[in-house]
A = this chain, B = another copy of it.
C-alpha cells in the first residue's frame, strides 16, 4: 500500500515516539521491533521501510527522545539563565527518577548503550555533549574555562549514575534511593562552594 509523503512522515514520527518511550520503559534489549510497530499502530514492514535495522531505529529514537527533553528544559528555563545548582536540583529529584518513559534517555539506557552499535553510541555522545554544554554554560564565568568543562562533564556523568542507581535500589531501599540523589547534589554544591571566589 502506497502512503502519501505526509502520512509517511507522520508514521516515522509515530515510530520514533513509540520506540523512544518503549526503550526507556523496558530497555533497548527488552523491546522487539514488532512491539514498536504495534505500539505505533503500524506493521513490521512499515517499520523497516523507515529504519533498516533495530540499531538504526534505536540511534534515531535516542536522539528524538533527548531532543524532546532538551526542548522541555529550554521551556522551563525560559528567559532566565538557570544556575548549575538549579540544573542539578531539577535533574536529581525523585520526580525525575520516577519519570522513566519520558525522562532522560541517557539515565534510562546508560549501561545498555555500550552493547549497541556505533550509531547508538554517537547518539548518546551527542546527547551527553549537549547536557555537558548546558551545565558548563550555567557555571560562573569566574571559574576558568577548562575547569568549567571538567566540572560539567563530571556532573553530567554523576547525574546519570545517580538516577540509574536511585532507580536500581528504589524497590528494595527507598531511603538509599533518595540519599543517592541528595549526596550527588551536595557533592557538587561543595565543589562550587569551595571553588568559586564569590560563593562559600
Contact = CB atoms under 8 A, between A and B. Distances in A.
Interface stretch (A64-72, A79-87, A121-129): A121-129
B162 A121 contact: no
Contact of A195 (B108, B113, B161, B190): B190
B128 A176 contact: yes
Nearest to A160: B161
| Number of copies of this protein chain within its complex | 2
Given A125-B169, A125-B176, A158-B154, A111 B114 contact: no
Contacts of A111: 27, 107-112, 164, 167-168
B161 A110 contact: yes
Interface string A104-143: 0011111111110111011011001100000000000000
A61 B79 CA distance: 50
Contacts of A159: 161
Nearest to A152: B183
Contact of A169 (B124, B162, B171, B179): B124
Contacts of A186: 150, 154
